[in-house]
């Protein structure tokens, strides 16, 4: 590592290669890159020679490692409020013959909040409150787990009016996601 005074406040210079996993690409070679970090304000820049690869197809253990690292960092800033950091809460409604008519995939997490990832109702059974019943049951479950809030996102072609009708408040909009559409972010404080 070499330290030298910064003569510029330019942004960091970085070269990277996107590579497949070494065990899949037998012709993989690692090259040495130089990363220069300009700290600015008269601080020295840091010159680091290092070898690295950017891997695009992670193993299950690598994904778990990353998730654990960010969770540990978050826990160092915000202590957990109970012993169970994450709890999957998945609900389905089945027809008497076993067909799935609707479902909700969500999770309670350690900040006393819950997130809804997916809420789906078969098009043939919309308008008969299956989604409303799933949402109410999810809210009841997470409230009993000491959650004070639920948040989610939905697209303009999905169900923004449904969530508003059920007491969810819009707190953000992402335009052109996907192009020509909007993604809406909602939350609800549980009473």
Q: Are residues 25 and 105 in the same domain?
A: no
CB atoms within 10 A of CB 182: 15
Q: Are residues 89 and 20 in the same domain?
A: no
Q: Are 174 and 182 in contact (CB under 8 A)?
A: yes
pLDDT at 48 over 80: no
The angle subtended at Cα 170 by Cα 167 and Cα 164, nearest 5°, is 30
Share of the chain above pLDDT 90, in %: 60
141 burial type by CB count under 10 A (0-12 exposed, 13-18 middle, 19+ buried): middle
Is 61 part of a structural domain of the chain? no
Closest CA to 138 of 185, 92, 82: 92
pLDDT at 12 over 50: no
Could you give the number of structural domains in the chain? 2
Q: Are residues 120 and 165 in the same domain?
A: yes
Is 133 part of a structural domain of the chain? yes
pLDDT on residue 42:
58
Is 62 part of a structural domain of the chain? no
pLDDT at 28 over 80: no
| Structure letter (DSSP) for residue 116 | E
| Structure letter (DSSP) for residue 11 | P
Q: Are residues 90 and 175 in the same domain?
A: yes
pTM of the model: 0.70
Q: Are 100 and 93 in contact (CB under 8 A)?
A: yes
Q: Are residues 38 and 114 in the same domain?
A: no
Q: Are residues 95 and 6 in the same domain?
A: no
Q: Which domain holds residue 10?
A: 2-55
Average pLDDT across the chain, whole number:
82
Is 66 part of a structural domain of the chain? no
| Structure letter (DSSP) for residue 22 | T
Q: Are residues 48 and 105 in the same domain?
A: no
Q: Are residues 86 and 178 in the same domain?
A: yes
């Amino acid at each position: 590592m070499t330290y030298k005074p910064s003569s510029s406040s330019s942004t960091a210079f970085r070269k990277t290669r996107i590579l497949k996993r070494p065990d899949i690409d037998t012709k993989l070679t690692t090259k040495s890159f130089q990363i220069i970090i300009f700290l600015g304000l008269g601080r020295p820049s840091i010159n680091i020679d290092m070898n690295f690869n950017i891997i695009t197809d992670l193993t299950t253990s690598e994904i778990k490692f990353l998730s654990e690292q960010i969770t540990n960092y978050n826990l160092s800033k915000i202590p957990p409020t109970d012993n169970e950091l994450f709890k999957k809460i998945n609900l389905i409604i089945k027809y008497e013959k076993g067909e799935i008519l609707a479902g909700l995939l969500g999770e309670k997490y350690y900040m006393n909040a819950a997130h809804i990832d997916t809420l789906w109702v078969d098009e043939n059974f919309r308008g008969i409150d299956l989604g409303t019943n799933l949402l109410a049951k999810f809210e009841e479950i997470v409230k009993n787990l000491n959650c004070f809030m639920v948040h989610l996102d939905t697209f303009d072609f999905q169900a923004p009016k449904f969530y508003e009708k059920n007491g969810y408040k819009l707190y953000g909009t992402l335009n052109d996601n996907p192009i020509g559409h909007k993604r809406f972010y909602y939350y609800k404080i549980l009473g």
